[in-house]
Amino acid sequence: MPQNEYIKESIKRFGRRFDHEERMRKKKAREPKKIAKTARKLRGIKAKLFTKKRYSEKATMKKTIKAHQEKDAKAKDAEEVKPGAVPAYLLDREQVRRTKVLSNMIKQKRKEKAGKWQVPIPKVKAMTEDEMFKILRSGKRKKKAWKRIVNKVSFVGDNFTRKPPKFERYIRPSALRFKKAHVTHPELKMTFNLEIVSVKKNPQSALYTNLGVITKGTIIEVNVSELGLVTQTGKVIFAKYAQVTNNPDIDGCINSLLLV
Amino acid sequence: MPPRPNKKRRVADKKAAEEVVSKKLKAAAADALAIDGQALVQFVDPEGKIAGPQLDVPLGTSKDQLGTLLNQLLENSEEMPYSFHLEDTEITSNLAASFGKLSKGQQSTERVLNITYYPLAVFRVRPVTRCTSSLSGHIEAVLCVAFSPDSRQLATGSGDSTVRLWDLNTELPKHTCKGHLNWVLAVAWSPDGSRLTSAGMDKIVLVWCAQSGKNLGALRGHTQPVTCLCWQPLHVTEGDSFPFLATSSKDAAVRIWDTTAGTCVRSLTSHSQPVMQVRWSGERPDIGGVIYSAGRDCVVKVWNPKDGSMLSELKGHGHWVNTLALNTDYVLRSGPFTHEPQKFKDLAEKKEAAKKRYDEAIQLCGGERLLSGSDDFTLFLWRPVVSKTAVCRMTGHQKIVNQVAFSPDGRWFASASFDKSVRLWDGRTGKYVHAFRGHVGDVYQLAWSADSRLLVSVSKDSTAKCWDIGQRKLLEDLPGHADEVYAVDWSLDGSRVATGSKDRLLKIWRH
């Protein structure tokens, strides 16, 4: 036994005081008052450190209390009828959450023809030419000004090859090119990171659509084959449309809502 | 979808098709006559018994001609349909074509060729082609569907904790049976068709009157959700008592119930994990049949229902056993009823008829076989009464096998798997025959037609598909459900198919 553990040794030999339990209880009960007193007294860096420690302690305590409450609540819920019934053979199997099969392809095609869409963002703010493009001066003396740099995020397909500089009117900077978009399924309330297939329509102008520029309100086509969606006739849906809901050039990512 | 052509056009199309077929037949007959050569053949039944003497026939003999020959040899008073196999290959057109498919060493006209014949059903079930009604009523997903043995009624269980009975003549709802407190996972008709039982997540088994839809009693005892129900076959019951019911549960027990008295007769406990499937076989009538059960602990157990002892354990699977099937499932389920409408006086008469049907069926399929499908992507074929070791282990599926089903005559069995395929295997040997591909989602369930010529499968991709076994191809695609299809059943008289789906609809399909 090490020399410094003389207290333990003593307790082992002679036991504790008879009122030890009582004293400990009282001490514990008085603890908050003591803490409060220190909290009032402390100033400066010491106070900062103290409050920080106190804050984290309280947070963990709250978390544990909540966890316990949830545990109790769960035991009660077990008897209730849960939605989303599955047959016996699918019990305990991990299932990807999936809602109803999406509206069929015919409807989608009809809408496409009419060019009308029930979209989450029906109107967008018009953009000026200055906001959209930056003039790139060219020529030896930099006096020609027919080149434009696209200032916005764009989608460039895999099979795109640059034209010779003489014919390259619009430059889409590679730093602003995107291949993937975050797509939220409105019924599932889940978000997936899906590949962009094409830009279907940019409400600003036809030119932007052709250039593949993605701004707020643009309709993009995304690859949904991973989601395992099927049509009513039992065919796999490969691509669906989504509308961009944020300003990708400002946020640095594309967020969009699947059109169902 | 193109519009449905009007009736006149359809008739005209049919005529044209028939003409083409008859022309083809004539051409085939001409070809057959052109083939010269003779062969010594010997007709053999699936069990290896010899029928008639060795015959010297021309190689150009067609399948129909073989049929006529065999019918005369067997002295059948009526012409019976048969299918013929030369060694391993099926004879589809004539003898010469199958002869050509034999391996080089076997291709000798000096040798006696064994032609195995398999009897086919004398009636034909027409494939289902259209949806005659979409029945709404359930307010949650339809989880299980079962036709009554006499094919007059249909029962469905749903996630809205009700059981519904449907009238098949009018295809309208008949009774709503309320009583369960949670999802209904299984429904089962008693083999005489007078009672219906249902069970589910609420651990209670309820017994219903098939005619009035009234609750006859509740069987309480399980401590976990009940997963499967199975009635005792009618012909192995003791004296004139009503068949017992076996239930499997997630509490790792199998219980046997007397539904008339509402008591638990026996509890069979030695599984260590949830039991997912239970089957009551018609073998060993001296002990009241044999019970097979399997579940998450990877073994199939064989039980004696009379004293509750375990007879044997069938080991082989490496993961959860999902499904069990007997080659006599169909005849046990249908009890005394055949594909024709019949009437019986009392239970004793039904028992007698059931016994007769069972004996015929077991003769036809050559002994009882048990099939199990598992999460380890394999199937095992057992003969539990004969031996503890498996007859055959079948591999080929790339994902879990969810359901297996024997054809009513025991000739084939099919397996549905989450790898999107349905595979067909030989019912006696377990040899791989064909993979039906076409579904784009997990295949959930299967159902055979009463004549064993058609198969219907349902899938996660919201469709049902009807497959032709003879031609090994897709016959009908049945779209219509808006979501995953969970349950399917083919009525025993072959007229209707019912599918239940997550979109809360029950659809009835007919020819």
- Quick: pLDDT tens for B256-269: 999 888 898 889 98
Mean pLDDT for all residues in chain A: 84
Q: Which pLDDT score, from 0 to 100, does residue B367 have?
A: 86
Same domain (yes/no): A58, A129: no
Residue A99 lies in a domain: no
Q: Which CATH number fits domain B20-119: 3.10.20.90, 3.30.450.20, 3.50.50.60, 3.40.1400.10?
A: 3.10.20.90
Q: Are residues A126 and A204 in contact, defined by beta-carbon separation less than 8 angstroms?
A: yes
Q: Which of A88, A91, A232 sits opposite B482 (nearest CB)?
A: A232
Judge: B322–A228 Cβ closer than 8 Å, yes or no: no
A14 lies in the same domain as A139: no
- Same domain, yes or no, for A120 and A242? yes
| A44 vs B405: CA distance, rounded Å | 78
- Please tell me whether residue B29 adopts helix, strand or coil conformation: helix
- The yes-or-no verdict on residue B29 having pLDDT over 60 is no
A77 pLDDT band (50/70/90 cuts)?
low
How many separate domains does chain A show? 2
Query: Which of A79, A85, A88 lies closest to B140 in CB terms?
Result: A85
By C-alpha distance, the chain B residue nearest A106 is B1
Residue B186: per-residue pLDDT: 92
* Closest among B111, B82, B119, B113 to B98, alpha carbons compared: B113
- Distance from C-alpha of A116 to C-alpha of A146, rounded to nearest angstrom: 35
Query: Is A91 part of any domain?
Result: no
Q: What angle do CA B459, B473, B361 make, to 5 degrees?
A: 85
| Position A89 in a domain | no
CB pairs under 8 A between A and B: 76
Q: What is the mean pLDDT of residues B460-466?
A: 88
Residue A97 lies in a domain: no
- What is the edge-to-edge ordering of all strands in the sheet holding B321-326? B321-326, B370-374, B379-382, B392-394
Which pLDDT belongs to residue A40? 94
Kindly indicate the confidence band of residue A111, based on its pLDDT and cuts at 50, 70 and 90: low
Which residues, at least 6 apart from B77, have a Cβ–Cβ distance to it below 8 Å? none
* pLDDT, average across residues B394-414: 91
Could you tell me the CATH number of the domain that includes residue A225? 3.10.290.70
The full 3-state SS of B202-238, as one line of letters, equals: CCCEEEEECCCCCEEEEECCCCCCEEEEEECCHHHCC
Average pLDDT value over all residues in chain B: 86
**Minimum distance, in Å, between the CA of residue A194 and any CA atom of chain B:** 21
Looking at the fold, whether A32 and A148 belong to one and the same domain comes out as no
A103: closest chain B residue by CA: B482
pLDDT at A74 over 80: no
**Residues A38 and A121 grouped into a single domain:** no
Of all residues in chain A, the one with the smallest CA distance to B140 is: A85
For chain B, what is the radius of gyration of the CA atoms?
Answer: 24
Domain that holds residue A200: 105-258
pLDDT band for position B406 (cuts 50, 70, 90): very high
Residue A131's H or E segment, with its range, is helix A129-132
Cα–Cα separations (whole angstroms), residue B152 to B189, B193, B229, B257: 12, 10, 21, 26
Rounded Cα gap, residues B472 and B436, in angstroms: 7
Q: Residues A69, A122: one domain? A: no
Determine, yes or no, domain membership for A48.
Answer: yes
Tell me the C-alpha distance between B322 and B328, whole Å: 19
Has residue A108 got a pLDDT over 60?
no
Using CA coordinates, name the residue in chain B closest to A227.
Answer: B441
Lowest-pLDDT choice from A46-55, A82-91, B94-103: B94-103
Pick from B322, B403, B461: CB nearest A234: B461
Distance CA A95, CA B502 (A): 14
pLDDT tens digit sequence for B52-67: 788 888 877 888 888 8
Residues of B with CB under 8 A from a CB of A: 1, 140-141, 143-144, 158-161, 181-183, 185-186, 225, 227-228, 250, 276, 322-323, 402-403, 439-441, 444, 459, 461-463, 477, 479-483, 486-487, 503
The pLDDT, as a whole number, for residue A105 is 44
Q: What order do you get walking across the sheet with B195-200 strand by strand?
A: B184-189, B195-200, B205-209, B215-219
Instruction: Quote the DSSP letter at residue B161.
Output: S
Question: Chain A closest CA to B457's CA: distance in Å?
Answer: 13
Contact in structure between A244 and A182 (CB atoms under 8 Å):
no
Query: Quick one: average pLDDT of A154-158?
Result: 91
Asked if residue A229 belongs to a domain, the reply is yes
pLDDT at site B239: 78
Residues A58 and A131 in one domain: no
Please report the pLDDT score of residue B288 as a whole number: 83
Q: Which amino acid is at A71?
A: K
Give the nearest partner residue to B462 out of A86, A87, A232, using CB atoms: A232
Q: Does residue A124 share a domain with residue A251?
A: yes
Let me know whether A118 and A56 are in one domain. Answer: no
Mean pLDDT across B72-92: 80
pLDDT in tens, B190-242: 988 889 999 988 889 999 998 888 888 899 889 999 999 999 998 888 877 88
More confident residue, B343 or B373: B373
Q: Which residues of B touch A235 (CB under 8 A)?
A: 440
Own/partner long-range contacts of B381-387 (Cβ < 8 Å, ≥24 apart)? B381/B430, B382/B300, B382/B314, B384/B281, B384/B290, B384/B292, B384/B300, B384/B302, B384/B312, B384/B314, B385/B283, B385/B284, B385/B290
Mean pLDDT of A139-167: 91
Residue pLDDT, tens place only, A31-43: 999 999 999 999 9
Residue whose pair of structure tokens reads 């397909």 in the numeric block: A157
Average pLDDT over residues A192-207: 90
3-state secondary structure of A210: helix
Note whether residue A82 is domain-resident. Answer: no
Residue B34's pLDDT band (cuts 50, 70, 90):
low
B27 pLDDT more than 80: no
Interchain contact, B276 vs A87, CB within 8 Å: no
- Which residue among A88, A228, A230 sits closest to B185, beta carbon to beta carbon? A88
List residues of chain A with CB under 8 Å from any CB of chain B. 79, 81, 83-89, 91, 100-101, 228, 230, 232-236
Q: Per-residue pLDDT for A101 more than 70?
A: no
Interface test with B, best of A79, A82, A89 (most B CBs within 10 A): A89
Query: What's the pLDDT score for residue A104?
Result: 44
Residue A120 and residue A70 share a domain: no
Q: Which residue in chain B is spatially nearest to A86 when comparing CA positions?
A: B143
CB contact under 8 A, B158 and A85: yes
The ipTM of this complex is: 0.78
In a domain, A186, yes or no: yes
Instruction: Mark whether A152 and A254 lie in a shared domain.
Output: yes
